[in-house]
Amino acid sequence: MSAIDTPGERKIVTFSLGSQMFGIDMKALIEIREWEDPTPLPGVPAYIKGVTNLRGTVVPVVGLAERIGWAPSEVHSRSCILVVNIGGNQCGFLVDEVTDIVLIKAEDIQPAPDVETHENVITGLVQITARAPDGTQGQTGAMVSLLDLNTLSLTRQMDFAA
Amino acid sequence: MSQELDEIQAIFFEECAEGLTTAEQGLSAMAAGDVSAEVIAGVFRAVHSIKGGAGAFGHAALTAFSHRFENVLDEVRAGRIAPTPAVTAVMLTAFDILSDHVAAAKGTAPLPDDAAALAALDEVLTGKAAVTPAAPLPAPVAEADEFGFTPVAAVVEEFDPFGFEPVGVVLEELEPAGSADWTVRFGPSRAALANGAEPLLVVRELEGLGGQITGVDADALPGLRDLDPEDSYFIWTLSVPGTVARADIADCFDFVSPDSVVEIERVATEAPAVIAAEPLVAETPPTLASLPPVAPAAVAPATSPAESVRHVEPPAQTIRVELTKLDMLLNLVGELVIRGSILADRLSPADQQRVELPELARLTREIQDNVMSLRAQPIKQAFSRVPRMLRDLSAETGKQVLLETLGEMTEVDKGVIEKIGDPLTHMIRNAVDHGIESPAERVAAGKSPEGTIRLSAEQKGARIFVRVADDGRGIDRARVRAKAVEKGIVAADAALSNEEIDQLICAPGFSTAETISNISGRGVGMDVVRSNVEALGGRVEISSVPGQGTTFTMILPLTLAILDGMVVRLAGQRYVLPLAAVVESVKPEPGQVRPMSPTSDVIELRGNYLPVRRLTDVFGFATNGSRAPEDSLVIIVESEAGPVGLMVDTIEDRREVVIKSLDQNLHPIRGLGGATILGDGSIALILDVEALVGGAASTFHPLKGLAA
């Protein structure tokens, strides 16, 4: 966390869900864990996979793909859990693969076209230079959807339900 | 800065709370007949400190009221007003208003209407004034002198004419003329500054009394190179009009740390104050370091004996710690315990036998016990609000109630104390409203007109028993039953034991009161008690003897953080069942568990049929074909609805687990009381028996089904 913020620039962690690229703010990331089966919870929506032990804290694990309306992720060898901090609460997100950490400029972020029907989990779209598999900078731009973590907060979700 | 002020203010309110508790205890003791000087002085000190702090934070209404209250207390302390029951009653009322004022200053309550209480206080004071001349006085000279001052003391607006402190002990200070100005020397100690005390406020307060700064002694000020900006070097000399009572001046220094320089001297009548100040300054030793011993001596004669006692109190042996820090510590210790057992699991049996490991476990356990004891508080804190409530209730209902408390020093986890306040309130209200009869009824029943409520707490093992017992009319079971039938809570033909009927009063929406009063009758009271207590992992027991009274017992865990649990396995997952709820476990014989309907089973146990819940069904977990009952275990648990069997796969272990809340990062889930981390680092969910057994339907359906 020693990165010095330049005004107008921010670091995002990019990851894939299916063929889509998503990004979350680096500042919210607590850690990336390998997938291990969480303890299932009764009586919760299917996207809550269960709870896991993060150094003594009980942290819920959410299938992010299902949560935002895509087909559920299949767990494979590169599946991992992004543990993030949403307003002081910790939450783990199951993602297919963590791809990169990139620096983006604020002016490069485009507001997401208003096509969402139920809730707006995507705050903006940004083009990044995708890294080619061999590690060299690729030429093709990839679209990354930036996620609004607050919308994904579990505690907030339940407030709505209550 | 304002944040710092908020913090200091928060400390003030904590101290207020402590002061109020002390005052209440003292006043209760006085009401009970103990009017020793010590008790009275204790109440006086408490109110006095609240006044001082309130003044410092600018809570004008609180200051004004506590000041008037203090005046009366002061007269009582000095023996000029006899602490008769009538006077004590006035003071108790005043205390209640004072509590309200504190709440108002805190912003949690509206400003109370204190006119009546003030009038009552004034009446006590004037009553005293009429008696005074006849009463034997310890120091008539001082008395006369004070009365000489009285009219002018009223110059200070909010101080009423009787606002002076008794100065009988300072005979030698009295000048015949009585009008010579005071010279006050004030040198804040280094500690005062380190504690955040602002000397200017004291100076301002003196100026409020008419004082003027006549000189500043800066001799002690070192060169700039040696100057410590956090140290205090100045000594102020102020001149205060001689018409101000000495005690009022001394009051200004109440919150100045004891090693500050405070000298209050009368100047010779003719000498102008400034000139008189000069020699004093000249005598001043050059450094502050040599001064401190002077200060207490200078302050002591000016204050009453009780006050000087306060000044010589040893430095406080306690520190204030934020509860969150303790929670963090507790959490970490819990981790340590878990890591310890993980380590033990990994070691070979031979290594486990070595002495270091048990030693480590013992140390860890000791740390854990100690941390737990840090959070433990005497249950007195929860009991302390009861006397006032009873006074209010007595006033509302016209019933006379005596309170007896037992075991109030029993120590309970802070979290438990915070959460039993509500249930306790309801139980007390219930006891007064439904239990205790009116004085006339009591006399007719051959009882004393005053009812008694006995509030007690005791620890038995890892549980705390909190009892509210009244000597009232007892539960009218016929009426309770009739009401329950009327409200459809039980079937009309249900055969209910006395205990079952008693439990009915805890049913949601149940009330026998014909009219809804302020106090009770809305039918929420005992339901709240039960649900709150159950949320804490406890239960409520009721016992009642018609005509002799009712006893409600809350049985609570000592702590909310650690649970004695049974680890069971179910569909591949491990769960923890609170051991307190477990009655027995049964390995069913073929045919012992029978389906009663397609979705429910019963187990036949010693001639009784008990409902059985399959936890896999309750939780909706998909299983690969349900296990045959013979391959499972049925654990009989005690619940509100009577014993119920829970079907699990196996029992794994019995152990103490550290409860981790689920709602910290998620939200409460019905049927689960939390989660815990087992020795291997995996998570086990803690089952909430009541919620599992009760299901979504009304808790009383099983009872109806059973009894009908």
Asked: is B2-136 a CATH 1.10.1060.10 domain? The reply is no
Question: Do the bridges between strand A89-95 and strand A57-63 make them parallel or antiparallel, or are there none, so unpaired?
Answer: parallel
Chain B residues in contact with A34 by the CB 8 A cut-off are none
Mutate to test the interface with B, among A36, A39, A58 (most CBs of B within 10 A): A58
Q: What pLDDT is attached to residue A106?
A: 81
ipTM of the complex model: 0.79
Of B620, B664, B682, the CB nearest to A53: B682
Give the residue on A whose Cα is nearest the Cα of B574. A39
- Inform me whether the pLDDT recorded for A59 exceeds 80: yes
Q: Are B81 and B124 in contact (CB under 8 A)?
A: yes
Q: At a CB cut-off of 8 Å and minimum separation 6, what does B567 contact? A: B574, B575, B576, B577, B651, B652, B653, B654, B655, B678, B684
Mutate to test the interface with A, among B683, B686, B688, B692 (most CBs of A within 10 A): B683
Nearest by Cα to B498 from B471, B478, B484: B478
Distance between CA B663 and CA B678 in Å, rounded? 19
Q: What pLDDT is attached to residue B96?
A: 85
Q: What pLDDT is attached to residue A61?
A: 92
Question: Across the A/B interface, how many CB contacts are shorter than 8 Å?
Answer: 74
Average pLDDT across each block of 10 residues of chain B; the chain has 708 residues. List them in order. Answer: 68 81 82 80 83 80 84 82 82 85 81 81 71 39 42 41 46 48 77 68 77 78 75 78 75 70 67 42 42 41 42 62 79 76 76 78 82 81 85 85 87 81 84 85 87 87 82 83 78 77 73 52 64 76 85 79 81 84 86 78 85 77 64 83 85 79 72 80 84 51 28
Q: What pLDDT is attached to residue B248?
A: 76
Q: CB distance from A87 to chain B under 8 Å?
A: no
Shortest CA gap A49–chain B (Å): 12
Chain B residues in contact with A86 by the CB 8 A cut-off are none
Q: Are B92 and B391 in contact (CB under 8 A)?
A: yes
Residue whose entry in the numeric block shows the structure tokens 């006849």: B134
User: Please, which pLDDT band fits residue A83 given cuts at 50, 70 and 90?
Assistant: very high
Question: What is each CA distance from B209 to B21, B240, B299, B530, B648, in whole angstroms?
Answer: 32, 7, 18, 56, 78
- Inform me whether the pLDDT recorded for A115 exceeds 60: yes
Question: What is each CA distance from B496 to B526, B542, B645, in whole angstroms?
Answer: 19, 15, 22
Higher-scoring residue by pLDDT: A81, B222: A81
Structure tokens at B585: 């476990």
CA B505 remoteness from chain centre: 28
Distance between CA B2 and CA B16 in Å, rounded? 20
Shortest CA gap B615–chain A (Å): 10
DSSP 3-state assignment of A113? coil
* Phi-psi group of A56: left, alpha or beta (phi > 0 → left; psi -120 to 50 → alpha; rest → beta): left
DSSP H or E stretch at residue B569: strand B562-570
Chain B residues in contact with A59 by the CB 8 A cut-off are 665
Q: CB distance from A53 to chain B under 8 Å?
A: yes
- ∠ CA B67-B317-B106, rounded to 5°: 35
Give the residue on A whose Cα is nearest the Cα of B332. A56
Average pLDDT, chain A: 78
Give the residue on A whose Cα is nearest the Cα of B337. A56
Of B618, B619, B662, the CB nearest to A58: B662
Alpha helices, H only, B347-431: 349-353, 356-375, 380-383, 386-397, 414-430
Of B618, B669, B681, the CB nearest to A41: B669
Q: CB distance from A36 to chain B under 8 Å?
A: no
- Position B588, amino acid: P
| Burial (Cβ within 10 Å: 0-12, 13-18, ≥19) of residue B74 | buried
CA A136 remoteness from chain centre: 24
CA B338 remoteness from chain centre: 33
Shortest CA gap A122–chain B (Å): 22
Q: What pLDDT is attached to residue B196?
A: 67
Q: Do A57 and B665 touch (CB under 8 A)?
A: yes
Shortest CA gap B682–chain A (Å): 7
CATH superfamily assigned to domain A9-161: CheA-289, Domain 4 (2.40.50.180)
> What's this model's pTM, rounded to 2 decimal places?
0.48
Alpha helices, H only, B57-139: 60-77, 85-106, 115-131
CATH fold, domain B379-557, is Heat Shock Protein 90 (3.30.565)
User: What's the maximum distance between 2 C-alpha atoms anywhere in chain B?
Assistant: 110
- ∠ CA A41-A46-A52, rounded to 5°: 40
Of B619, B667, B683, the CB nearest to A58: B683
Q: What pLDDT is attached to residue B705?
A: 27
Q: Do A41 and B338 touch (CB under 8 A)?
A: no
CA B535 remoteness from chain centre: 20
- Inform me whether the pLDDT recorded for A121 exceeds 70: yes
- ∠ CA B489-B491-B496, rounded to 5°: 90
Give A35's DSSP letter. Answer: -
Chain B residues in contact with A55 by the CB 8 A cut-off are 335
Q: Compute the 3-state secondary structure of chain A and give helix, strand, coil in percent, each to the nearest 5.
A: 15, 50, 35
Q: Do A57 and B666 touch (CB under 8 A)?
A: no
Q: Domain B562-707: give its CATH code.
A: 2.40.50.180
Q: What pLDDT is attached to residue A131?
A: 59
Q: Do B667 and A158 touch (CB under 8 A)?
A: yes
Distance between CA A81 and CA B485 in Å, rounded? 55
Q: Do B685 and A91 touch (CB under 8 A)?
A: no
Distance between CA B405 and CA B428 in Å, rounded? 13
Residue whose entry in the numeric block shows the structure tokens 């069904």: B617
Q: Do B675 and A90 touch (CB under 8 A)?
A: no
Structure tokens at B639: 């619940």
Q: DSSP labels for B391-408?
A: HHHHHHH--EEEEEEE-T
Chain A residues in contact with B670 by the CB 8 A cut-off are 43
